[in-house]
Chains A and B, each alone.
Chain A
Amino acid sequence: MKAIAFTILLLLSELALATNLRGRVDIRHPYTGDLFPASGATVELILFTNFGPQLVYTYFTGSDGMYYMPSIIPGNYILRINGYLDYQIQVVNMPYQDLQPVLMQ
């Protein structure tokens, strides 16, 4: 019984440490210079471990340019856009975290 209770507590503690990430990718219109949401952008969340980079999550933005990454363990990550634009981010321990928008060049 104690073991079950311990397991449940352990699982709940894991859940409490998970953050739902949200952010937006923009693109500058090459013709007019206006800013638009970048649809179809590949957003990857990468964790650097002792064994090298580890892909944690991949998301393809919709027409609103938004990306959503549920249940991310707090820590330091690299947010990679379209495989070439890297941003260093810190995921904090809170239920939801909005990241600063990213501009695709």
Chain B
Amino acid sequence: MDREIAGIMLSFALYLTYFLIPLVPSILIYKIFPSTSVVASGSFSGLKVNSSGAFAAYLITLVISINALSETEARILEIRNPNEPTWSIIGTLELRDGEGNVINNPLLFDLLEISLEPRVLSSANGDIHFKIPGSPDGSPPKRMITLDVKGFGRGKINLTSEAALTGSDMVVNYQTRTIEFSEPIEITTLTQPGQKYSETSYMTPVTGAGE
């Protein structure tokens, strides 16, 4: 789920909790001990308050809840406004065989997996455009991004050092927090030109084996 949406939903749940939790003791007091005199007086948010009975119980619990839930609210705000800004990686992929020839087969992009070390964040096909967390100081993320076309080969985007970020095919825009590649990112097959096989008989795949 998107962080922003999660943050909004959590905020909504928190405000609902603010409203509902104080209702519990006030209803209980109203139902069970209708004659109990609970009194609340003083100033609350700049207003003079002087109430009694169930409403007083509601007010008292509300004040306690606000203090208890303030830390939770701070955490939700953290989720909505993360400290680590994201950076966009934009580029086009190019498949090459072991001899350096370009391979035009868009079907191979269906097998593409993009992974980040230490963790996987996003995947795309053909033209890539994804966001990854940047460094806390606002500088580009120091990560190695692996582009893996399963069964074909791998390519890497090296962002681990300042030197790597000054590559001629890489345009780093600190304003828009974007790293854009002017040249295709090469994904080279791991097969060696000398490893060609002659035609042989292969196993025949089955369908619906697991059904």
CA distance A86 to B207 in the complex (A): 7
Most chain B Cβ neighbours within 10 Å, of A27, A36, A48: A36
Q: Does A45 contact B (CB under 8 A)?
A: no
B200 A101 Cβ-Cβ under 8 A: yes
Chain B window 143-184, contacts with chain A (Cβ cutoff 8 Å), 1 for yes, 0 for no: 000001011111000000000000000000000000000000
A31 B105 Cβ-Cβ under 8 A: yes
Most chain B Cβ neighbours within 10 Å, of A25, A39, A64: A39
A39 B190 Cβ-Cβ under 8 A: yes
A35 B190 Cβ-Cβ under 8 A: no
Residues of B within 8 A of A63 (CB): 190-192, 195
CB distance from B154 to the nearest CB of A (A): 7
Q: Does B24 contact A (CB under 8 A)?
A: no
12 contacts between A and B (CB under 8 A): A37-B191, A39-B153, A39-B189, A39-B190, A46-B210, A78-B210, A79-B203, A85-B205, A86-B206, A87-B206, A101-B203, A103-B202
Residues of B within 8 A of A102 (CB): 202-203
CB distance from B117 to the nearest CB of A (A): 16
Seed contacts A40-B150, A87-B204; 20 additional CB < 8 Å A-B pairs:
A25-B151, A26-B197, A29-B97, A31-B104, A35-B196, A35-B197, A37-B191, A39-B153, A39-B189, A39-B190, A40-B190, A41-B150, A46-B210, A65-B191, A87-B203, A100-B201, A100-B202, A100-B203, A102-B202, A102-B203
A82 B152 Cβ-Cβ under 8 A: no
A35 B154 Cβ-Cβ under 8 A: no
Q: Could you tell me how many residues of chain B have their Cβ less than 8 Å away from some Cβ of chain A? A: 33
Q: Does A75 contact B (CB under 8 A)?
A: no
Residues of B within 8 A of A89 (CB): 203
B152 A40 Cβ-Cβ under 8 A: yes
The chain B residue with its CB closest to the CB of A42 is B150
The verdict on A82 contacting B105 (CB below 8 Å), with A39-B190, A100-B203, A103-B202 known, is no
CB distance from B7 to the nearest CB of A (A): 34
The chain A residue with its CB closest to the CB of B98 is A36
Contact among A37, A40, A41, A104 with B195 in the assembled complex (CB-CB below 8 Å): A37
A82 B111 Cβ-Cβ under 8 A: yes
Q: Does A38 contact B (CB under 8 A)?
A: yes
The verdict on A35 contacting B150 (CB below 8 Å), with A30-B103, A78-B210 known, is no
CB distance from B111 to the nearest CB of A (A): 7
Residues of A within 8 A of B198 (CB): 35
A87 B205 Cβ-Cβ under 8 A: yes
